[in-house]
């Protein structure tokens, strides 16, 4: 995963949470009943916490590992893309259901709250797992090459080097 790809995946998740929180808060402020409803307040807190906690986890890991962490890897990229797809789905639900002024709570509120919470926890775990993979301090695992093939590879490299030396001999 390129440096920009790693940054954009995390940034997209954080921006999604923050924009959904702003949109949901503007829907809440339309009536006093919506604002006073405890379930609505839970979702509001979940959306706000999603963006801020993910940002904190990312910044903390970035501070400890430096730019290497921001580049991410293929595993974290695909996992973050899946989380982003889930967030987009709840964004569509929020946008659709908030168009009905008669709703005091959204019909899909338990579902949206569940996805928000699960996605927040999942993204934080993805970032922690990425940190662990990037912080791996032991010897790097060797790729699977049999001893027979390893000696053939070494032999071919050595013979190429020898041929290059023979060709470069001064005349």
| Cα–Cα distance measured from residue 6 to residue 134, given in angstroms and rounded to the nearest whole number | 13
pLDDT tens digit sequence for 35-58: 899 999 999 999 999 999 999 999
Taking the domains of the chain in order of start, what are their residue ranges?
3-142
The per-type count for the chain, helices as H runs and strands as E runs, is: 7, 0
CB neighbourhood size of 45 (10 A)? 13
Contact between 16 and 87 (Cβ < 8 Å): yes
Of the candidate ranges 50-54, 61-65, 144-148, 160-164, the one whose mean pLDDT is the lowest: 160-164
Per-residue pLDDT, 70: 82
Write b or e for each residue in 54-70: b if 16 or more Cβ atoms lie within 10 A of its Cβ, otherwise e.
bbebbeebbeeeeeebb
* pTM attached to this predicted model: 0.74
Alpha carbon dihedral 139, 144, 150, 154, in 10-degree steps, equals: -60
Q: What percent of the chain has pLDDT over 70?
A: 76
Q: What percent of the chain has pLDDT over 90?
A: 53
Q: Nearest-CA neighbor of 24 among 86, 91, 87?
A: 91
pLDDT tens digit sequence for 141-159: 454 555 555 555 555 544 5
66 pLDDT band, cuts 50/70/90, is confident
Contact between 18 and 51 (Cβ < 8 Å): yes
Q: Nearest-CA neighbor of 109 among 42, 26, 13?
A: 42
| pLDDT (mean) for 89-105 | 90
Please report which helix (H) or strand (E) contains residue 121, including its range.
helix 109-134
């Amino acid at each position: 995963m390129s440096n920009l790809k790693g940054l954009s995946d995390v940034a997209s998740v954080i921006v999604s949470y923050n924009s959904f929180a702003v949109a949901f808060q503007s829907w809440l402020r339309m009536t006093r009943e919506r604002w006073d409803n405890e379930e609505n307040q839970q979702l509001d807190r979940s959306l706000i916490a999603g963006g801020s906690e993910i940002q904190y986890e990312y910044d903390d890991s970035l501070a400890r590992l430096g730019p290497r962490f921001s580049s991410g890897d293929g595993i974290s990229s695909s996992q973050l893309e899946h989380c982003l797809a889930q967030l987009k789905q709840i964004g569509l639900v929020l946008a659709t259901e908030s168009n009905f002024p008669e709703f005091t709570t959204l019909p899909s509120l338990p579902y949206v709250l569940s996805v928000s919470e699960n996605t927040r926890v999942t993204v934080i775990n993805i970032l922690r797992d990425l940190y662990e993979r990037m912080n791996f301090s032991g010897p790097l695992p060797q790729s699977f090459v049999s001893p027979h093939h390893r000696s053939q590879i070494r032999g071919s490299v050595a013979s190429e080097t020898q041929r290059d030396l023979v060709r470069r001999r001064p005349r």
